[in-house]
Amino acid sequence: MTTVRYGETEIAFSLIRRHGTTIAITVRPDQSVVVRAPNDADLEAIRARVLRRARWILRQQVALARFEPRPTPRQYVSGETHRYLGRQYLLKVVANGKGAVRLARPRLEVHVQGTPTSDATRRLVARWYRSRAEAVFADRWPKCMAKVERYQVPAVPFHLRNMPTRWGSFTPSRRILLNPELVKAPTECIDYVMLHELCHLRYPRHDWRFYRLLSRVCPEWQRLKEKLEGVET
């Protein structure tokens, strides 16, 4: 996710690289902003275009907000659907359990100690997701590093961090952060995020060199990026 500041407002947008010569800006029904730009377009030129269109973007977001349904917060009760590795599972809450979560397709069973409450169920589910993220990411990470090592990308560890608007992040101190919620996405999307962040070890900025490397190690990154945008958390 990339941002520009317009006055006191920060506009975040997803950037999709493609073949072509024009920069196109779209405001989706959920008010998110998507920018499609040529593969060789400079990031600063893209940001400048977004800034020039900032008033129009904000007007579109205000207009769409009038028709946006209020999202229903999760209640963590039986019958809800939750994702894991791209698949949907029905939540089943079991009372007087051992405080554990078990995946039993097509259900995600949460065994709560005593009488179930939404908070107790939510904590158990969050703990389970983080545990699964540690295991899945630890399995996928060396596979992704193997794809970039020939491009002089050093081997580094990843760190888990909950982030409200990002699946992954490359920090100024050159640490790679992965959101545990990413474990809800298909494995191919997890690999895409990992490869994206690993490419930053060679090219920290989203310039043409970065996207050239990303395209080499993850040729379908644009499709996977769009697929990832549809994953509910």
Q: Which residue has the tokens 């520009």?
A: 4
> What does pTM read for this prediction?
0.70
Specify the higher pLDDT residue, 68 or 131. 131
Residue type (1 letter), 11: I
User: What average pLDDT score do residues 73-83 get?
Assistant: 89
CA-closest candidate to residue 168, choices 146, 190, 193: 193
Residue 69 has pLDDT above 70, yes or no: no
Q: What is the pLDDT of residues 85-120, one digit of tens each?
A: 999 999 999 988 788 999 988 899 999 988 889 999
**Which H or E run includes 140?**
helix 118-148
Comparing C-alpha atoms, which of 190, 189, 198 is closest to residue 217? 198
